[in-house]
Amino acid sequence: MRIPCILYSDDFLGHDLPGHVESRERLLAIMERLRPMSGRLEFSEPPPAGISDLEAVHQPWYVKSILGHGRGRLDMDTYMSEGSAAAAMRAAGAAIEAVDLALSGRSLSAGMVRPPGHHALPAQAMGFCLFNNAAIAAMHALKKAKKVLIVDWDVHHGNGTELVFYGRPDVLYFSVHQYPHFPGTGAADDTGTGEGEGYNVNVPLPAGSGDGDYVDAFQRILLPIVGSYRPELVIVSAGYDTHHADPLGDMRMTAAGFGELASLLKSACSANVVLLLEGGYNIEHLPSCVEASLLGFMGEDYGRISGERTAAAAERIHEAAAIQKKYWRL
């Protein structure tokens, strides 16, 4: 079967702090939307990650401390409950399983996971994230693939993911995000270091950017880079807090906008796609955003985007492109 596979486990609901914005209700709402799509989607429960998978990205002492940690706050934003360690291991396992499916020919595999991952550093939990699912997925993929692309359209910059691959050319990290904003990283001139120079691509956008601006960032910067980098696998850090109604972001994307980004990426690149849920906190709109992005990757109708472009975003995209021209033909 080559229909898209959704990787989900009830373990993801065990990470829970009542009243916290990164809630189990987010995932319940998404799954309520996706379950009726059975026939067009396949559903599978992934196994937990192994310790060595986690240690490919995280310090062994940190892995041990998270897995042995009970209920409590790790910082102002990031919590653990009784079920968090199991949820985090299963989320990383979903990321790995999705990679295996992709590398064995599945065109789209989506981990509907919690907790999210892209802020998690090698030895520090941060921004609701415990283990960096996308980074763990990419490290696993490198056992078979030589070039992996991570596309991060969450409203926040994926500082953890950037850090893990900052010195490596075999994982190209592309992020488009609100800037300045949490976590403070993601400047356009952070382009990588050593052998990794030119393989870290940040497109910081001002608050108020919408579908048209994101499309512009993809068309002017990401798609030409993808065309010459030619990754064997694409991992999407799919955050939906870029939506106009999200409480943690100030962007103006619509649900259809995520479909458009997915469609553009798919049309530019023949590599199979692993989509991993990151942020997205408006529970009313989150399910339609997720659905639209899946439909975009599946080549199906996801609705009409708002094509409006803003002058402030155009200027930032121009600046980011000017920086990347040192490394890529844009």
Known catalytic residues are 119
* Candidates 70-78, 133-141, 149-157, 187-195; binding stretch for Zn ion (CB under 5 A): 149-157
Q: Is 241 in the site for Zn ion (CB under 5 A)?
A: yes
Report yes or no: 191 and 198 within 8 Å, Cβ to Cβ.
yes
Binder to Zn ion among 46, 83, 210, 239 (CB under 5 A)? 239
Residue 157 Cβ vs Zn ion, minimum distance, rounded to whole Å: 9
Stretch that binds Zn ion, among 188-196, 279-287, 298-306, 310-318 (CB under 5 A): 279-287
Tally of CA atoms within 13 A in the half-sphere of 215 that contains its CB: 20
What DSSP character marks residue 252? B
Tell whether residue 156 is a contact of Zn ion (CB under 5 A). yes
259 near Zn ion, judged by CB under 5 A: no
Q: Contact with Zn ion (CB under 5 A): which of 22, 53, 152, 154?
A: 154
114 belongs to the binding site for Zn ion (CB under 5 A): no
- Distance of closest approach, residue 172 Cβ to Zn ion, in angstroms: 20
What is the amino acid identity at position 311? A
Segment near Zn ion (CB under 5 A); pick from 58-66, 164-172, 241-249, 303-311: 241-249
- Quick one: tokens of 251? 């962007």
Least distance (Å) between residue 2 CB and Zn ion: 31
Q: Which residues of 227-259 are buried (b: 16+ CB within 10 A; e: fewer)?
A: eebebbbbbbbbbbbbbbbbebbebbbbbbbbb
Per-residue three-class SS string for 109-125:
EEECCCCCCCCCECCEC
> Does 246 interact with Zn ion (rule: CB under 5 A)?
no
Amino acid at 1: M
- Count of residues of this chain found to bind Zn ion when the rule CB under 5 A is applied: 5
Please tell me the chain's helix, strand, coil percentages from 3-state DSSP, rounded to the nearest 5: 40, 15, 45
Binding residues (CB under 5 A) for Zn ion: these are 154, 156, 239, 241, 279
